[in-house]
Structure 1
Amino acid sequence: MNILLIAGGWSSEREVSLNGAKGIHEALLRLGHTVTFFDPQLSLDGLLTAARGHDFAFINLHGSPGEDGMVQALLESVACPFQGSRATGSFIALNKSVSKQVFLDNGLPTPEWEFLAKRPSKDWRPKFSYPLFIKSNTGGSSLGLSRVASAEELPDSLDSLFATESQVIVEPLIEGVEVTCGVLGDSALPPVLIEPADGSVFFDYEAKYRPGGAREICPAPLPDTITAQVKHFALKAHKVLGLCGYSRADFIYSPDGSLHLLEVNTLPGMTSTSLLPQEAAAIGLSFDDLIARLIELGFDESK
């Protein structure tokens, strides 16, 4: 097949996208496909023309464009099949404040939050006690995520984040460890337990992408009941957001045994050592197998 590999873009996660695209490109070639690389930052106006000349599009974008549903909507308009969720599900999942409303409405546990559509006045005070987190409402890869330990730190953290983001959410600190769980097709994959390396306060951008920055254990060494609950919540979140193909849900597992759903990623990291490929490997799927399965699911969804 002739496959259009879409990566890069103009979000703060551009480099993450390009790095993942290298491995996907190699896997597609090994699977016998012809690959054309397309970077929306360089030629967005040519996307529809490019899509019409290919049998399938493989999207490896993070943030906007890509996870916001824009590229998916364009591909749908010319009936070009692609992997992963459609435009509407992508748009809802990327917006944390919107997706958290959907979670609560469907009985999924998610931390409280406060949505800020603009930089609040200097006398504004969050409704949560310190420490707390402020983060981009639509960003990922922990870019722009800030742990605020006191009221004195808040102004600088807000200024820094609003310098690059137009919408922000505030969440309380939830004590516990990070657990992530992928969905492939109609099944949840084995969860991963994430332990930041010494010196990392939380699973930030450096911990995610620096070699040795975190210890990722798959399958996660959790009680069977918790593993089952994580998988149930991940699959339910996937469904209530209207997603398809694949996704990855991120949780905090607290010492009291409770789970807190943070967000769902519709285009999770796809290097061979990323979290979802690790989970796929745990059920016997190589990276090439995973890419082939995502293409198969994409064609199924386009019918």
Structure 2
Amino acid sequence: MSFVAHPQIDPRSLGKVGVLFGGRSAEREVSLMSGRGVLAALQSRGVDAHAFDPAVQGVAELAAAGFDRVFIALHGRYGEDGTMQGLLEQLGIPYTGSGVLASALSMDKQATKRLWMTHGLPTPRFAMLRAGSDFTAVVAELGLPLIVKPAREGSSIGLTKVTDAAQMREAYEKAAALDRDVIAETFIDGAELTCPLVGEGDDAAALPVIRIVAPGANYDYQNKYFTDDTQYLCPSGLPEALEREVQDLAVNAYRVLGCRGWARADVMLRADGKPFLLEMNTSPGMTGHSLVPMAARAAGISYEDFVMQVLAAATLDLQPNEHWKPE
């Protein structure tokens, strides 16, 4: 299903809005940039939008703020992993993006990959690492090069491309400093793609695919957010049938995880034309270097309109029980 822009949204219908950004994760710096962009976009459209940083403002303040809905512009832990979603469920405040379970599953790369594999979706082979793992055996099983990374971080934080078995210990320790669960996966040599997604269930749709060409094929944290050397090709330049195949795969991956609202699937396209799913981002970046706004523009929708549509879709996993009363 292709993406279709919705009619203009009345800002008054959205009520008082909180934009959650900053937070306590390793991606705080990027989240601050995303949140400021989202906040400015909403205010430019006349929305009664207010900044809220969970790192410096507590739960009591969030409960007392009187928000009718919130836009989650948090990235990584405590914002993209189901924890903030669970809190907002408790408070009864509708929020953007995926619910508790889908957020938690998507943040955990091991859980994501196991679920995709169960449904027959292609993703690189992997192994979980521990301090006592036989790294030589892992290399023998998966081959080289390998990608070693924390199981629950984003933005390539803590990631190492291992080209020699002697690098495994150092790569493991770098990732383990950020997460007790570390994953090693087969490196897919090919084109790096990303596909933003919107909607839910049968109504889920893909935006145009973006092909990423990073300096030295190294799409790391610095090249993602703080340099202008990375090229983003949208249109991707892929043959139409192949682009549609990647979009269909991304939509299936999104549905399998139970995602809603919006997300972004990262995909590697092997030299023989076979796509492999890497991960699902359920609170994608919205900075000046971010990819979702780029794909939205290619689909004919501005940054501001896209933010409005994501916010208008804010909801809860469970609707409040109007009949419940404390004893």
Verify same fold: TM over 0.5: yes
Which among 258, 270, 279 is matched to residue 274 of structure 2? 258
How far is the alpha carbon of 1:120 from its aligned partner? 2.7
2:126 equivalent to 1:91 = no
Check whether the contact 2:196–2:206 (CA below 8 A) recurs between aligned residues: yes
Shift of 1:272: 4.4
**Distance in 1 between the 2:244 and 2:64 partners?**
43
Contact 2:38–2:286 (Cα < 8 Å) also in 1: yes
Q: State the shift of 1:63 in Å.
A: 0.9
Q: Which residue of 2 aligns with 1:138?
A: 152
Partner residue in 2 for 1:292:
308
Of 177, 184, 189, which aligns to 2:207? 189
CA contact 1:206–1:213 (8 Å) conserved in 2? no
Query: CA-to-partner distance for each residue in 1:171-203, whole Å, 9 max, x for gaps?
Result: 111110101101122211000000012xx3421
Size of the aligned set, in residue pairs, is 299
Distance 2:269 2:165 in 1: 27
1:82 maps to what in 2?
95
The 5 A counterparts of 1:47-126 are 48-50=62-64, 53-116=66-129, 118-121=130-133, 125-126=137-138
Q: Does 1:227 align with 2:239?
A: no
TM-score (norm 1): 0.93
SS of the counterpart of 1:170?
A: strand
Match of 1:218 among 234, 241, 251: 234
Is contact 2:149-2:172 (8 Å) kept? no
Tell me by how many angstroms 1:155 deviates: 1.7
Select which of 196, 219, 230 maps to 1:203.
219
Contact 2:224 2:289 (8 Å CA) reproduced: no
Provide the secondary structure at the position in 1 that maps to 2:72.
Answer: strand
Code of the residue aligned with 1:267 in structure 2: it is S
C-alpha distance in 2, partners of 1:14/1:255? Answer: 35
List per-residue Cα deviations over 1:124-169 (Å, max 9, x = no partner): 5413222211011011101111011112222222222212221110
Return closer, same or farther for 1:297/1:187 CA change in 2, 3 Å cut-off.
same
Unmatched runs of 5 consecutive residues or more in structure 2:
1-14, 320-327
- Deviation of residue 210 (structure 1)? 2.5
Asked if the contact 2:135–2:165 (Cα under 8 Å) also holds between the matched residues in 1, the reply is no
> Structure 1 125/300 Cα, relative in aligned 2: closer, same or farther at 3 Å?
closer
28, 34, 40: which one pairs with 2:42?
28
Q: Is the 8 A contact 2:100 2:317 kept in 1?
A: no
Q: 2:192·2:268 contact (CA, 8 Å) conserved in 1?
A: yes
Q: Secondary structure at the match of 1:141?
A: coil
Moved more, 167-176 or 37-46: 37-46
Show the counterpart of 2:287.
271
Matched residue type, 1:282: A
For residue 16 of structure 1, report the CA deviation from its aligned partner: 0.7
Inter-partner Cα distance in structure 2 for 1:213 and 1:165: 30
In structure 2, C-alpha distance between the alignment counterparts of 1:216 and 1:46, rounded to whole Å: 42
Amino acid at match of 2:99: R
- CA-based RMSD: 1.8
CA separation in 2, counterparts of 1:265 and 1:241? 11
Contact 2:89–2:317, Cα closer than 8 Å, also in 1 = no
How does the TM-score come out when normalised to structure 2? 0.87
Query: Which amino acid in the other structure matches residue 238 of structure 2?
Result: L
Distance in 1 (alpha carbons) for counterparts of 2:167 and 2:281: 29
Q: Give the Cα–Cα distance (whole angstroms) in 2 for the partners of residues 302 and 221 of structure 1.
A: 42
Task: Report percent identity of matched pairs.
Answer: 36
Give the equivalent residue in structure 1 for 2:170.
156
Structure 1 residue aligned with 2:322: none
